[in-house]
Amino acid sequence: MKGSDLTRKFRTALMVGVIWCGLTLPAAANTTILLIGDSLSSGYGLQGPVWVEQANQALAKQGHAVTIINDSISGDTTAGGVARIKDGIDRIQPDWIIIELGGNDGLRGIPPRTIEDNLMKMVNIADANGVQTMLLGIRIPPNYGKSYTELFEQTFKSVSATTGSPLLPFFIGEIGGDPKLNQADMIHPNDQAQPIIRDRVLPFIKSVLGI
């Protein structure tokens, strides 16, 4: 084959590759995440922006076309999440769903098996609608004893292992139990805690999305 033919074929292949990349990039450029959570993400008792809003601000500042739609309700449970996840999918049409539920179940002593079943139902509903899921795990005070608290924490790990949904265990981290970072009830993080939560959750989200 002549050199001119090789050059022409190379240029043609290069042009096709450029066109292909140009067509596919816009489809991957915008990502919508639906966060279904409780008071830890709804902004309960705060004066300023909750960590979710701060995460959106950081993503925009870093140049990422990723938006988290915060659909968190104070007091919500995993059963509530099961009841409303399909409506959220239909309204928002998200690419991903972050499930941040379970804390209120634990505080009420709901059997861990029930919590796990509800989380599984949420993931399965999302999957059936072509939406991927992430999990934000939580811990609870040892009010119901060591066995219960251990089983409670294990529910998130079990759902993650079974479904392949990425999990950030105990997403508020060192904030739990710190009086300087919690409101008077020692359950809800205060305003000073929100940037810390943002900086724990944001790298997890970016890692999952590969950005």
CATH architecture of 29-209: 3-Layer(aba) Sandwich (3.40)
For the chain, the domains span: 29-209
Question: pLDDT tens for residues 74-106?
Answer: 999 999 999 999 999 999 999 999 999 999 999
pLDDT digit string, tens, across residues 27-84: 346 999 999 999 999 999 999 999 999 999 999 999 999 999 999 999 999 999 999 9
CB contact at 8 A, 95 and 132: yes
Structure tokens at 91: 């309204």
Would you call 112 helix, strand, or coil by DSSP?
A: helix
Q: What is the pTM of this model?
A: 0.86
**Any idea which residues carry the catalytic annotation?**
39, 185, 188
Residue 145 DSSP class:
-
Q: 96-100 and 132-136: which strand pairing?
A: parallel
Return contacts of 151-158, CB within 8 angstroms, 24+ apart. 151/112, 152/102, 152/106, 152/112, 152/115, 154/112, 155/102, 155/112, 155/115, 155/116, 155/119, 156/102, 156/119, 158/116
CB 45 within 8 A of CB 188: yes
